[in-house]
Amino acid sequence: MNATFGRILALLARGDHPAPPAFDGFLDSLLQKFENCRPGLPDDVAAAGGEAAAHFFTDLYEAERTRLKDLVRQSEPLLMPGAHEELFRKVDELIRNVVIPAYLRVALPFTARERNDFYLAPGPFHWAERLGWGVAGIALGAFIVEAPFIPIWSKEIIFPMMVAGLLLPNLRRFLLMRRFEREINGLVGRADREISRIDTAYLMAATESEVAEASVGVAESTGAEEGRGAVSGRGGGTARSAMKEGAS
């Protein structure tokens, strides 16, 4: 079986199962590089966002473009050189126009919260915010005890509510970090699926071209054989006519 056609069948047979990492997990490693370098993003750039933040991460990607081009060529050895360049250009546009802006949309707000240690109040007032949440927990516990429509009358509930209030900033940190990780992984998965879709389209185009060339070759071979048969038929008829005339 043709290797390109076999790969297309494998891609189509995958169905709804998760797509394998495209080009040896290039996107995953690229976003991991973004995460490793994100602490170097200046505070004013992280707060303002816009072109300056995009330029920071685009420069990081520029250093990886040569590796991406090599991965495209190595992963699809059956494509023509022109098709390699076109596929690389499509993936490059996807990263520049979709992946990096989507990453900025998720990473910049998270960076601002992360650098404030996930508190709502500014740095010097973190202790006041934690204390305020503790007081709010005490007030909520007292309300639960005193409210006649809530079947909890033990005053011991006030202490755990106070502890929950004091630990609320830590809980917020945990939940925000989990959500950020989930969004980054989702971004990588969706971008990998889009790259696989583009890759499959180029593979199918290459297969259709091979089939068309094979059909043309078969048609030319058949035509040549028919032409030789016709010439042989005419030559045999001429010889038989000459023999008849000689016998007469």
User: Looking at residue 217, what is its pLDDT?
Assistant: 46
Q: Could you count the other beta carbons within 10 Å of the beta carbon of residue 59?
A: 10
* Amino acid of residue 139: A
CA 42 to chain centre: 27
Residue with tokens 């030559």: 235
Please, which pLDDT band fits residue 234 given cuts at 50, 70 and 90? Answer: low
CA atoms of 153 and 147, how far apart (whole Å): 8
3-state secondary structure of 43: helix
pLDDT in tens, 109-145: 999 999 999 999 998 999 999 999 999 999 998 888 8
Domain ranges of the chain: 3-119+178-247
Please work out, in degrees rounded to the nearest 5, the angle formed at the alpha carbon of residue 202 by the alpha carbons of 196 and 203.
85
